[in-house]
Amino acid sequence: MKIAVLPGDGIGTEIVAEAVKVLHALDLKFEMEEALVGGAAYEAHGHPLPESTLKLAKASDAILFGAVGDWKYDKLDRPLRPEQAILGLRKNLGLFANFRPAICYEQLVGASSLKPELISGLDILIIRELTGDIYFGQPRGRRVATDGHFPGAEEAFDTMRYSRPEIERIAHVAFQAARKRSKKVTSVDKSNVLETFQFWKDVVTEVHKEYPDVALDHMYVDNAAMQLVKEPKKFDVVVTGNMFGDILSDEASMLTGSIGMLPSASLNSNNQGLYEPSHGSAPDIAGKGIANPLATILSAAMMLRFSLNQAASADRIETAVKSVLASGLRTVDIWSEGTQKVSTREMGEAVVKAITKSTKS
Ligand code: NAD
């Protein structure tokens, strides 16, 4: 089991270190190799995704990724910005299917900004298409952009585009995932305004004919954004495009109490995957030792389940996280009155301890 470990920037290094400790606490043998990515790679090699990092990622069964980015790189020409590394990895490895489960742990019901009865027992799965849509559209409007900005330009544009095979394969992923859950898919689009998403809706409807046992409904993205906070439990599997999925999954993260709790998996058709927390590099708290490592630790659990065929070990990590939360330990983002504030490292070590204890018992 070869894992490429790419911590990246900001809190990326802090949270990945904890996830690596958790993986080492399992009685499994891994080959782990670390490489630079994002701003750290730009500083060392002049590129956010150096050839050596891409080579390592391609040669691994799975990638454990932290986060990339820092505001100090905002002036760089776009292809050199740290965020391009993650887009490059997705494109080069064909990681088209992004799974973002939003689960509200019972112990964190009080940490959400929504009423407890709305989110207690919440368990939804957002499936975001990851290698198409406006983030990869051609042509893109780049005018007079010497420093990543557009001094004196009159317009800028990006192009939204999806091909039939791109929509078909993500629709199949969603219907198959729904078969293992409550057999219900909501496809989110903006077909009332955008041609691309009328096409999306038509293709998803066609693919649905192969899954008569799964219920399908369609919802406009603006309505979905509203329903997610009004009545989130009415969703089960949500499938949508790259940009809408980006926004809705961040919104869904707050249903779970904090963006620091939301893991993600990005898979290609060979089940090779990149596993990362749904949040970014959080430059505002980087270096303070207060970031929540649980999204990354839970991403490592998804890695064991989806790419490394180690479901029992994935269960052990998830059980350990639940027991740590039940014991009242909280990083600052999920802290509430009556619970105990801990650092990033203390949270990681508590999960390790819970795993070790489960081995002994
Ligand atoms: P962010 O997700 O980094 O942070 C948003 C807010 O959530 C901040 O207040 C931050 O402190 C908080 N937060 C995030 N993760 C947390 C954690 N684990 N524990 C506690 N609090 C946490 O988003 P942003 O501020 O919009 O972006 C910062 C940088 O990250 C930008 O450069 C952006 O491009 C980049 N980014 C990278 C990725 C990625 O690597 N996949 C994803 C999103 C954003």
Q: Whose CA is nearest to atom 42 of ligand 1?
A: 280
Whole-angstrom distance, CA of residue 111 vs CA of residue 300? 23
Clarify whether residues 279 and 359 are in a common domain: yes
Average pLDDT over residues 220-245: 97
Give residue 150's pLDDT. Answer: 65
d(CA 207, CA 35): 40
> pTM for this one?
0.90
Q: Exposed, middle or buried by CB within 10 Å (0-12, 13-18, 19+), for 190?
A: buried
Final residue in a domain of this structure, among 250, 265, 280: 265
What is the number of helices (H) and of strands (E) in the chain? Answer: 12, 12
Structural domain range at position 3? 1-95+268-361
Tokens of 221: 């993205």
Q: Whose CA is nearest to atom 32 of ligand 1?
A: 69
CA of 282 to the centre of ligand 1 (A): 4
pLDDT cut 90: percent of the chain above it: 80
Each residue's pLDDT tens digit, 104-128:
988 888 878 889 999 999 999 999 9
Distance 278 CA to ligand 1 centre (A): 8
Same domain, 113 and 24: no
Q: Are residues 107 and 217 in the same domain?
A: yes
Mean per-residue pLDDT of the chain: 93
Q: Which residues contact 285 (CB under 8 A, 6 or more apart)?
A: 11, 291
256 with 346, same domain? no
Pocket of ligand 1 (CB under 6 A): 11, 67-70, 83, 86, 259-260, 276, 279-285, 291-292, 295, 333
Tens digit of pLDDT for each residue in 1-13? Answer: 999 999 999 999 9
* Backbone phi and psi for residue 219, each to the nearest 5 degrees, phi listed first: -145, 140
What local confidence, expressed as pLDDT, does residue 77 receive? Answer: 85
Only one residue has tokens 């893991």, namely 263
Residues 102 and 222 in one domain: yes
Beta-bridge partners for 329: 340
74, 222, 230, 341: the catalytic one is 222
pLDDT digits (tens, 9 = 90+) for 28-41: 999 999 999 999 99
Closest by CA position to 65, among listed 44, 42, 34: 34
Rounded to an integer, the average pLDDT of 53-76 is 96
The structural domain count of the chain equals 2
Whole-number pLDDT of residue 259? 85
Would you state the pLDDT for residue 241? Answer: 98
- CA gyration radius for the chain? 20
Rounded distance between C-alpha atoms, residue 337 and residue 63, angstroms: 37
pLDDT (tens digit, 9 = 90+) per residue, 247-266?
998 888 888 878 899 999 99
CATH code at 182?
A: 3.40.718.10
- 349 shares a domain with 246: no
- The full length of the chain comes to 361
Over residues 295-346, the pLDDT tens digits come to 999 999 999 999 999 999 999 999 999 999 999 999 999 988 889 999 999 9
Does residue 358 have a pLDDT over 90? no
Question: pLDDT at residue 234 above 60?
Answer: yes
pLDDT above 70: residue 151: no
Tell me: do 113 and 159 sit in the same domain: yes
Write the pLDDT tens digit of every residue in 152-201.
667 788 899 999 999 999 999 999 999 999 999 999 999 999 999 999 99
Give the DSSP H or E segment for 188.
strand 184-189
Which of 219, 239, 265 is the C-terminal boundary of a domain?
265
Please check whether residues 252 and 325 belong to one and the same domain. no
Instruction: Calculate mean pLDDT across residues 100-107.
Output: 90
Per-residue pLDDT band at 148 (split at 50, 70, 90): low
Confidence of residue 138 (pLDDT cuts 50, 70, 90): confident
Residue 258 is classified by DSSP as -
pLDDT at 112: 81
- Distance from the first to the final alpha carbon of the chain: 27
For 361, counting Cβ atoms within 10 Å of its Cβ (0-12 exposed, 13-18 middle, 19+ buried), the class is exposed
Last residue of some domain: 216, 234, 265? Answer: 265
Q: Has 246 been annotated as catalytic?
A: yes
Take residue 197 and report the two structure tokens written for it.
Answer: 């998403």
